[in-house]
Amino acid sequence: MLKTNHGACMGAVDTGLSTTGIAILGRASSSMPPADLTLPELDPRIRYIGPAHFYWNADGYMLMSAQNEWPLEYINGIPVGRHEPEPESTNYQGQSQTDSINGSDYVTSQNFTAGQSSGPNNAPVSLFSPERNKCALYDNAAARWLVREFKPDDTDYYSRVIMTGETSEDSQLRTYIARRNPASYCYALSQIVPAGNVVASLYRAVNSAGVAAGIVQVESGQLATSPIITVAGVIATRPAASVEIDTSQASSIVVKYSDGTSDKYSTPEEIFILPFCQKSWGARYVQRIEFK
């Protein structure tokens, strides 16, 4: 430890040397406590700047945050941290809530009917008969399946079904949200999605009355971000978010996540901007930031 008797110590190295009457410049060795992101109150060294966004509350519902708010999230009533900051994203699917499937955003087979149920955000979604239990993803422009029909592992709790693919030209996509066979189906018909990687998602749950499905989202890229609610025939864009971390007293940080993974970053500047999410929304949460 470099010591001084008459100067300001602003840095430290493990040399075992001592000096008198001089100032040592640089960053102090970090003895800063970690930031615990599983606590309700956000650590004052961390600042979230971004739009309102969905998060999971302690009662198991999706709620909408305030602007510039980074709320604590829960799984089965247990606090799990905060979701990673997200880039700008657009939902190309109109009427995403599925509270109505009678407009141009949805196509159904003849004599197809649906009821209503309460969705994960406590708003109405469509309810389908139990035998219409398959999903699929279809590229209209290329007239081909991106994801062939399959039956998700639905439970009585809402879970997200995520389907990915790649298109060679701008296209409308069909997200099949309730399909029995080629003669019995309901699909969401998106607006034009730019060519490239695409990801479609929706929330589903089963109950005694059938299959509830809603919050349909179609995005460019490979990650399903937090839900973006749209109205009939209209796309919507959520701006990017930013998380600023005060690293004025640290040369590096370690970010730890709920899935047991971690990332280490060098922090030569006084403010470090946490990178955008590397996984789909809800796959992992930021739980702890250690300052080194």
Closest by CA position to 75, among listed 262, 282, 213, 289: 282
pLDDT for 176 equals: 98
Count the neighbouring beta carbons within 10 Å of the beta carbon of residue 240: 13
Percent over 90 (pLDDT), the chain:
85
pLDDT for 209 equals: 87
Cβ-contact 174, 138 below 8 angstroms: yes
pLDDT for 258 equals: 98
* Cα angle 19, 24, 25; round to 5: 170
pLDDT for 105 equals: 97
**Cα–Cα distance between 212 and 225 in angstroms, integer?**
21
Lowest-pLDDT range, 26-30, 71-75, 102-106? 26-30
User: Per residue in 182-207, pLDDT tens?
Assistant: 999 999 999 999 999 999 999 999 98
Cβ-contact 214, 229 below 8 angstroms: no
Mean pLDDT of the chain: 90
Closest by CA position to 53, among listed 203, 197, 238: 238
